[in-house]
Structure 1
Amino acid sequence: MIQDIEPCRFSNAYKPEAPDGASFLLCYSGRKVLVRKDGQDGIAFPTFQEMEPYTEGLYEDYTYLFSIDGQRFYLGEGIGFYESGDLTLEDTEIFRTAMPRHLAFAGITGAQLYRWYSGHRFCGRCGSRTEQDGKERMLKCPSCGNMEYPKIMPAVIIGLTHGNRLLMSKYANREFKKYALLAGFAEIGETIEETVRREVMEEVGLKVKNITYYKSQPWSFSDTLLLGFYAELDGDGAITLDEDELALAEWFEREDIPVTATGLSLTNEMIMRFKNGEM
């Protein structure tokens, strides 16, 4: 999956030390990110040394993000975007296929933090300008003391099985058009297991039993922590489709599943695990 970057080591410990010339800048504008492309899928990010001629005070006003193998990454807030030479603005969807994998993971993780920082410049309680904390990743209002932490939304991925069959679906009105599993966000006041039951009932009108946790995945494309579950059909398998959420949903025999391994997402791994008879 995208976060599996071994032997590289990702550290999200908040250590806001000053950058040096070799530190990477992750520069975003909406859904766009500044990268250097190398061949079809290869990418790299600009360094402070490269961007220094374009931005005054670059080393004084910085936002530390994380490190990978000791290499520090910072948010390029307030930096002009210069599509010159081999630096170009690309859609953050590039990180689904970009190489090397550890830079793709850095790029999409940085995008999640960029959205949080840019969306919390001002206090949601009193409207004052927020300030970065020096000890933890938190934005604090100096006027009323309100504290804001990064947004992480829990959601479930559900591999619903019935003997040798797996239920797969396609989203309605989304750019992603490939087969996926049922999924949905947890609501306030419910357990994750209740989320599984509710989402299956809402999207396809089915009941489930024997809910079993598989594994999790950080999915920064949607600010989400994904929690993967398998569950068995309880009762009749006739589908009642929620057409606002899904374009289709259908049962597939294990040997007929039209999906191949990508190594990117929890959804794909769960589908392939069932397809290959590993559960």
Structure 2
Amino acid sequence: MQAAPSGTQGSYTGGIILMSTGVAFLSANDAVAKALTSHYSPLQILFLRNVIALPFTVLIALVMGGRPALKTYRPMAHLLRGVLWVSATMLFFTSFIYLGLAEATALIFVAPVFITVISALFLGEKVHTRRWLAVLFGFIGVLVVIRPGGATFQAASLLPVATALVYALLMLSARWVDARETVWTLLVYLTGTAALISTFIVPLVWVPVRIEDFWLFAAIAVLGTGGMTMMTQAFRLAPAVIVAPLDYTGLIWATLLGWLIWRESPDAMTVFGAAIIIASGVFTIFRQKGKAS
């Protein structure tokens, strides 16, 4: 679907900068969304975010891929991906109501573990022992963070875990998209179908938008679209094994923003569990790269 990275030092540096900046943008997007959940339903936040972002997404696709970027050969695949995207975002935004930003972010990083499990059990991919061990450690990290049965356990902790599962399905569903379509096509239709799907159900939860909140909704549209665009470009410029692990810097941003805005401070067990999850994910990325080499 895309040309391989050129392999030059300059392109690698550009990919690293774009990935790091894109992750920071998406982390800020999550922080703004969490702030908005105190007054609005996650569904209304999702709807307005995608409606505002859609024109910018189309413009970016036209600039980067031209008119062919707006053409799809499998619209139903995009519709299914839209359903998955709406579901994942709704689960994640809802978790912000009950959980700290860092805790929710740490748990969603278990997505690569789910991708491995689904690929092995349902898609027939061969997974070697070391990757299964990474999966096991990833789930151990989740248990350390949520501590089921403990005094600090919250059922809401399962929301970002469910988000990670649905997000894994979303990533794997890209295989159903026609190979002639680019990542810009995926970006346009993901935003457009999410806006369309949420249009039909948002009247059930709609409340008038306060004037002082308009800029926050504009911010999540710009931050979300900008972050996804930069991360997409990062993977075009540098190998996944270089830029993909930088996604985990999002936990640093989430911890910092959570503390600055809400004075949230993750406890030692949450930090320990997050470290296990991240180590599992990074190992999976490197093993996947080795298999593809």
* TM-score bracket relative to the smaller structure: under 0.3
TM-score, normalisation: structure 1: 0.25
TM-score, normalised with respect to structure 2: 0.24
Return the structure number with greater helix share: 2
Higher relative contact order (CA 8 A, sep 6+): 2
